[in-house]
Amino acid sequence: MKTNVQTTKNTPWNITKVGHNTWRGSFSSMASPCEILINCTRRQHAESLVECAYREAKRIESKFSRYQEDNIIFRINNSQGEWVSLDTETTEILKFADQLFQVSEGLFDISSGVLRRIWNFQTHSSIPTQGMIDNMLPLIGWDKITFDSDNQRILLPMGMEIDLGGIGKEYAVDLTLKKIQQMSDSLGIAHGSYLVNFGGDIVCSHKTKDKNKQSESPWVIGIETIDSLKTAPAIELVAGGLATSGDSRRHIDHEDKRYSHIVNPKTGWPIEHAPHSVTVIANTCLEAGMLATLASLQGRDCENMLIDSNTCYWIQ
């Protein structure tokens, strides 16, 4: 007997049909709504792909979340001034963070998370005093950390912390797409198009045998606008990544001055004149996200940097 099982399985994700041969899988991870759009013919395949995406997102979340007490980030942040051995994946991510620190001349710093203790952008409350900031600055600086990538280990001075929040979600988006593609290959899906969206950080791909064939319809991505009077722009993307830095909801308004949520790790103060939101399109979600972040860190020069680096962007 052949039965069509609708989503009666007890899974941590949901799947719905949203169009002709198009499926939408959803779950929650990394404190964001996560969405997988799949263009393939069989529901069974779509389910396998969503399951695979869910596992990868959860794997990365539990491995790198700073809110968990049994992962590598916890071990590093509680190492009491001793060397911590790293696995290869963590080593590679830290190498990447190190390159970002160099290329941003110290503005992108994964050790700056301790500033969260004094800057609370969620509650839109008061701003810290210079004295509070001065107490924090000695605990910030990737250059104070000994990272030995050859021997896969790291040594943090006492009291310092690292946080991969600035990289993790974009990284997870790209890696999840890779997993979906690998799974799709092993399922033998000939023409599958996929979109991964974790809370606005997006990557998509499509597969066609004929490279010259333009029959693939692009994914259409709407950008959330801050000003409700403006119409949301729609971006058509066939393959590539899109990410946004900044969030209109995360800032502090204090004495008629708006403090952006991007803090300069060198001064401990928010970057001035940073745009509310910068959206960048690049080859991968990670590249788009890092370009958006690096541009935001430039403050007033944000747009110049995006123009000079030949980036496709949208500033609000």
Q: Which residues bind another protein (CB under 8 A)?
A: 55-56, 59, 63, 70-72, 79-85, 87-89, 92-93, 95-96, 99-100, 103, 148, 150-151, 153, 155, 171, 174-175, 178, 282-284, 286-287, 290-291, 294, 304-305, 308-311
For residues 277 and 311, which CB has a smaller minimum distance to another protein in the complex? 311
For residues 157 and 218, which CB has a smaller minimum distance to another protein in the complex? 157
Q: Is residue 237 within 8 Å of 221, Cβ to Cβ?
A: yes
| Number of alpha helices (DSSP H) and beta strands (DSSP E) in the chain | 7, 15
| Site of tokens 């393959």 | 239
To another protein, the closest distance from the beta carbon of 110 in angstroms equals 14
Q: Helix (H, G, I), strand (E, B), or coil: what is residue 164? A: coil
Q: Helix (H, G, I), strand (E, B), or coil: what is residue 167? A: helix
Distance CA 298, CA 246 (A): 13
Stated as kind and residue range, the H or E segment containing 88 is helix 88-103
For residues 23 and 205, which CB has a smaller minimum distance to another protein in the complex? 205
For residues 87 and 253, which CB has a smaller minimum distance to another protein in the complex? 87
Distance CA 25, CA 183 (A): 15
The length of the chain is 316
Q: Is residue 72 within 8 Å of 79, Cβ to Cβ?
A: no
For residues 30 and 115, which CB has a smaller minimum distance to another protein in the complex? 30
Largest CA distance in the chain: 73
To another protein, the closest distance from the beta carbon of 116 in angstroms equals 25
To another protein, the closest distance from the beta carbon of 226 in angstroms equals 26
To another protein, the closest distance from the beta carbon of 280 in angstroms equals 11
Stated as kind and residue range, the H or E segment containing 18 is strand 14-19
To another protein, the closest distance from the beta carbon of 75 in angstroms equals 8
To another protein, the closest distance from the beta carbon of 198 in angstroms equals 16
Distance CA 166, CA 170 (A): 8
For residues 41 and 99, which CB has a smaller minimum distance to another protein in the complex? 99
For residues 102 and 267, which CB has a smaller minimum distance to another protein in the complex? 102
Q: Helix (H, G, I), strand (E, B), or coil: what is residue 71? A: coil
Distance CA 109, CA 141 (A): 7
To another protein, the closest distance from the beta carbon of 63 in angstroms equals 7
Tell me the β-bridge partners of 202: 197, 242
To another protein, the closest distance from the beta carbon of 150 in angstroms equals 6
Angle of helix 43-64 relative to helix 88-103, nearest 10 degrees?
A: 70
For residues 7 and 102, which CB has a smaller minimum distance to another protein in the complex? 102
Other CB atoms within 10 Å distance of the CB of residue 298: 19
